[in-house]
Amino acid sequence: MTRMTPGGQSGDARLVGVGGVSVTTLSSASTSLSPDQPWIWFSDTSALISAAVSTDLGKAIQVAIGTNKAMLLDVVVAELRHRAEVDGRGSLAAIAKGVLTQFGEPVTTPKYVNTQQVRTIQAIIAGGRPLKHDLEHWAESVTIEMMRGAHQRGSRLRFRFLTEDYNARIEAAQIPTCEPWSTPRLLWELVQKGDLTPHSAAAIADDLQRVHRGPNVTAAEFAGKRRSKLGRAGQP
Amino acid sequence: MPASRLSPMGAQVFRYTRSALSGRPRNKAEAQRQGRRLAEKVRAELDLGSAAIRDLAALIETHFGVDVDLSPLGRDADGLCAHTGEQALIVASTDFPDGHVRFTMAHELGHHLLADPREVIAENGEQMYSDNIVERRVNAFAAHLLLPDAGVQSVLASLDIPADELPTGNDRVQRALGNLMYRFGVSLPALLFQLADLRVLSFDEVAVLRQTLRAGQVTARHRLAASVPQLAAPLAESVCEVVRPPQRLLETALTAARARKIGTSLLATLLDREDDAGLFEEVMGDEDDAGRPIR
């Protein structure tokens, strides 16, 4: 895993703020993506909390990211801190907060996103339900807006967005260069690539299900070719 | 979202109202007659005969190009009709008994068909039942649409209730009234009002029955006599709290959700559902990874 920040070059890609949005400095005009193009990984608060359930899931995420780049956003850190305060010591949020350093320095996002656009995405994800608090769905919305801005400006970067929120994944999937995954989907992909055994994936899924953070998925279903067996967690 | 459309029969009704009922009624009697004639025209054009209308919201949407939204919106307002040249929406609060909600829908449809010049007509019970000539006309329309003369007479005849027994309000009469409420989906006040208009009862007799009878008691007697189980009972006497978004909006949202263009949160809001995971299963059904149905 390579750490990356918007202003600083890291590996062969970097994001820079231009006109309030993030763009890549890689050859800029083409939007055609090559299969060997590296992925930029974003993780939402919900996925980090899931990773706190099982150290094996945390390791699986690191395996999936591999030598690609991961970005940790300040809004995700802020939400985790808030939830850790509310939920208290020993909570999943507090555990997740404790292992954030592996993702590097958080990126300060306000200068890279248009707040009005973020609010629009937040409203779409909420789908008309009143927000429980102002920051509900905010971190996912900021992440989606950063990816969308990069794509709209011709970035060739590909994004993987790890989030347990189905509505956020659907919204992120509208960006052609983004592949949103839930953590069960990540496990399934690893099993399909042979990077994880179906039984290990099922054991992690059991841990997630026990704390109501994932569906009941058997080893056979992880080994099967039909992602739809994961239900909502397998979509999009 | 696809445009709302009039059915050919609905268009025929509009042509009729423009040609035959375009002016304001000169008096209460004429308002009453016009409302009845319009209801009879709707029943004739839609080939409804004297049968009860089961799904009134769907009938309004299908034939008259009006979106219908039913939601528990409290009891401050019964409903509203908002209409412009191209679009029309009827909203009815379902914090009322089912029969009341159906009357509100029919009443607001009357405003729309008669091209009430107000763009937004929001009404509470007091306004709906005011002595205003415009309201009287749409109330007559609603009553005759939901409770057609021939349908009422046929039920009373089949129950063998002579006209002079009705004012007594005895057990047999209560069962008959409950039967009519159940069959036609109307409230007790609307039924009694209509029986007076149909000259089955006098207004004085109606006033007495309104004082002495309770909707719950009347429908309970009917249920007992007809062996209608409690769960299948009409909602005439209970608050229905139904949530029904406009069908056009719901279909559009369903299509978008199945195509993964939107999530399920919007559908959950439209349907007032909390269980997003269960809703996902219902919406997507058994599909493969590409969203195609599995055969």
Q: Which of A129, A170, A226 has its CB closest to that of B262?
A: A170
Q: Which of B260, B280, B287 has its CB closest to that of A173?
A: B260
Chain B CB within 8 Å of residue A174 CB: yes
For A1, the enclosing helix (H) or strand (E) is none
pLDDT at A63: 95
C-beta of residue A75 within 8 angstroms of C-beta of residue A139: yes
3-state secondary structure A154-186: CCCCEEEEECCCHHHHHHHHCCCCEEEECHHHH
Parse chain A into domains and list their residue ranges.
182-230
Q: For residue B289, which residues of chain A lie inside 8 Å, CB to CB?
A: 226-228, 234
In 3D, which of A152, A138, A13 has the Cα closest to residue A82?
A: A138
3-state secondary structure chain B: CCCCCECHHHHHHHHHHHHHCCCCCCCHHHHHHHHHHHHHHHHHHCCCCCCCCCCHHHHHHHHHCCEEEEECCCCCCCEEEEECCCCEEEEEECCCEHHHHHHHHHHHHHHHHCCCCCCEEEECHHHHCCCCHHHHHHHHHHHHHHCCHHHHHHHHHHCCCCCCCHHHCCHHHHHHHHHHHHHHCCCHHHHHHHHHHCCCCCHHHHHHHHHHCCHHHHHHHHHHHHCCCHHHCCCCCCECCCCECCHHHHHHHHHHHHCCCCCCHHHHHHHCCCCHHHHHHHHHCCECCCCCECC
A235 contacts B269? CB cut-off 8 A:
no
Q: Residue window 126-145, chain A: list those with CB within 8 Å of chain B.
A: 126-129
For A119, the enclosing helix (H) or strand (E) is helix A115-126
For B5-64, write each residue's pLDDT tens digit. Answer: 899 999 999 999 999 998 889 999 999 999 999 999 999 999 999 999 999 999 999 999
A127 contacts B266? CB cut-off 8 A:
yes
Rounded to a whole number of angstroms, the distance from the CA of B69 to the nearest CA of chain A is: 16
Residues 6+ apart with CB under 8 A from B246: B61, B67, B68, B69, B89
Residue A189 has pLDDT above 50, yes or no: yes
Burial of A19 (0-12, 13-18, 19+ CB in 10 A): exposed
B281 contacts A127? CB cut-off 8 A:
no
pLDDT at A156: 85
Q: What span, in angstroms and rounded, lies between the C-alpha atoms of A18 and A9?
A: 15
Q: What span, in angstroms and rounded, lies between the C-alpha atoms of A51 and A59?
A: 9
For A73-109, write each residue's pLDDT tens digit. Answer: 999 999 999 999 998 888 999 998 888 877 778 999 9
For A52-80, write each residue's pLDDT tens digit. Answer: 999 999 999 999 999 999 999 999 999 99
pLDDT at A64: 95
Q: Predicted ipTM? A: 0.79
pLDDT confidence band for B277 (50 / 70 / 90): confident
